[in-house]
Chains A and B, each alone.
Chain A
Amino acid sequence: MSRTRRGVRSFSLLFGVLIVSLPTLVPAHDIITTPVTWNREISRIFYSRCVACHREGGTAFSLMEYGETFPWRTAIKEEILERRMPPWGGVKGFGDFRNDQALTPEQLELITSWSQGGSPEGEAKDLPAKDKLDEMIKESAWYGGATHADHQPGEIVIKGDFKLTKAFVLDGLFPRNVPEDSSVQIIAEFPDGRIEPLLWLDQYKQQFAHVFLLRAPLELPAGTVVTGIPDGASIALLPPPKE
């Protein structure tokens, strides 16, 4: 998380000098110590990762506008650092998913800097054009345009360790029944001995169940063992959707 912070350091320190020099001119609340603004960086992240749900008419309270987001700035920081939001549920870098909605380290850093640095709004000219908003929301939708229903034909539902009796092209995984708040690492052990990480769920929340779609289909030969599924849990192995 250091790079943006390096980039903002001189701004922060110089601004600190101004604050110390002119204490009577600065409001007693929310001293601005970050160059990261809502209009420039944060709105773009929220539009691509949050407002599919957090908008008027969505499934959660709106975070579309600066005035709507500002009161939640501290809670937002806590939620994103704990990876509770966005509720992707998978650990980045264990498996590779084309519908990955988790925040990147850079995005985590920007939001943290903005939240801790006074959460400035910034200049109106930096706000992304609203005529592209529908497109951004569409791109950010959960499931990446595909749902579990699209994959149901040919899926294999597995419990515990499972050995494939014939080759299977894996396009994604769907946690059908995973214990609440559990941490689960699912891997594929190939007949030649190699091991591929498939999916690492952490603090799993059933209410946010969704498909995890691989960036590229993975060919699992007969004899591959999929393992790591805890007692009482079941996972669906999804083939590519039918055309």
Chain B
Amino acid sequence: MRAALLSLILTLVAVAQTPAPLPSQNAGDVYICPMDPDVRSNNPGKCSRCGMALVAGLPDPVEYHLDLSVTPRPIKPGQPASLTFAVHDPWKNRPVTNFQVVHEKLFHMFVVSQDLEVFVHNHPTLGSDGNFHYDYVFPKSGMYRVLGDFYPDGATPQLIAKSLIVPGQALKPVALARDYSPKDAENLGVELATEPQQPISGGKTQLMFRVKPGDGLEKYLGAWGHMLVASADLIDMIHEHPFIADGGPQVQFNVVFPRAKSYRVWVQFQRKGVVNTAHFDIPVKELGK
């Protein structure tokens, strides 16, 4: 029995996606100036400021600043808007222009409207000014949450939310009922089952997706799937990638839903060159209630 279980686990290890290395877990990945700890490099060398030898160190998980500006202002529904993302370091607020590629892109951006009807996952491009740029047409008025996912050189990955308000009639927050019904996307269908069936806040929930047809699945941006989890009040926003996937029809994500709220999850799978997006609604309860 134990051998069978061990075999199963080894199989799971084999099929799990290779995790991206995190510099915060490997002391040798980052070199820091002991005099100027904000001078960091992914290679050994000398501090560009003081000339001291850089030493291998462990980046603390500090929070960078992300400034989001939009032109023209005010933002008007249905009209083009240009979004600019500027990243600054947390020590002296200096512009940050060097980034690591994460899942084939330097910057991942999610846009979600307050009524949860608008969902965008796209990738602003790095301009010659060192900022990231993206043109977008906000379809309607109301509040939007914009999530920036990026990885400054020598730091730790950043996941920073911003808020934009498009003048006009405010969008009302939504009350989400459980919706696990199968979804038809562009060229595949998606089914969802969770374990436990009733997700509990603060505990791990396995979200097991089955796509049909099961052939032709391809990696999208370096992963067998992408998932954004947003609470109905848009306070929690979580970007996940599969915990277990092998290109077959079963894809498992693991999530800890932070609070006893309702959540909408958007999943994206690529099949035969087409990106499919589907969403499900998951009420989460408190343990014992």
Contact = CB atoms under 8 A, between A and B. Distances in A.
A107 B239 CA distance: 14
B104 interface: no
Contacts of A94: 163
Given A21-B6, A197-B163, A1 B58 contact: no
B20 A6 contact: yes
Interface in B234-259: 235, 237-241, 243, 254-256, 258-259
Given A20-B6, A187-B165, A105 B159 contact: yes
A112 B256 contact: yes
A10 interface: yes
Interface in B121-173: 143, 145, 156-167
Interface stretch (A37-45, A60-68, A174-182): A37-45
Contacts of A9: 16, 19, 243
B5 A45 contact: no
A214 B181 CA distance: 44
A91 interface: yes
Nearest to A14: B13
Most buried by A among B73, B161, B256: B256
B204 A106 contact: no
Interface residues of B, number: 55
A8 B237 CA distance: 20
Interface string A1-45: 111111111100110110011000000000000010000110011
A204 to B, nearest CB: 13
B133 to A, nearest CB: 19
B173 to A, nearest CB: 10
Most buried by B among A2, A8, A14, A193: A2
Contact of A7 (B9, B22, B202): B22
Contacts, number: 131
A144 to B, nearest CB: 13
Contacts of B17: 6
A1 B25 contact: no
B106 to A, nearest CB: 15
A224 to B, nearest CB: 13
A194 interface: yes
B116 interface: no
Contacts of A108: 258
Interface string B61-94: 1010101000001110000000000000000000
B60 interface: yes
A197 B165 contact: yes
A194 B238 contact: no
A106 B19 contact: no
Interface stretch (A51-59, A78-86, A146-154, A157-165): A78-86
Contacts of B145: 93
Given A17-B10, A81-B202, A105-B238, A10 B159 contact: no
Nearest to B146: A93
11 contacts: A2-B241, A3-B239, A6-B19, A10-B13, A10-B19, A17-B6, A21-B6, A83-B235, A92-B161, A187-B165, A193-B74
Interface of A: 1-10, 13-14, 16-17, 20-21, 35, 40-41, 44-45, 77-78, 81-83, 91-94, 96, 100, 104-108, 110, 112, 116, 126, 183, 185, 187, 189-190, 192-197, 200, 202, 215
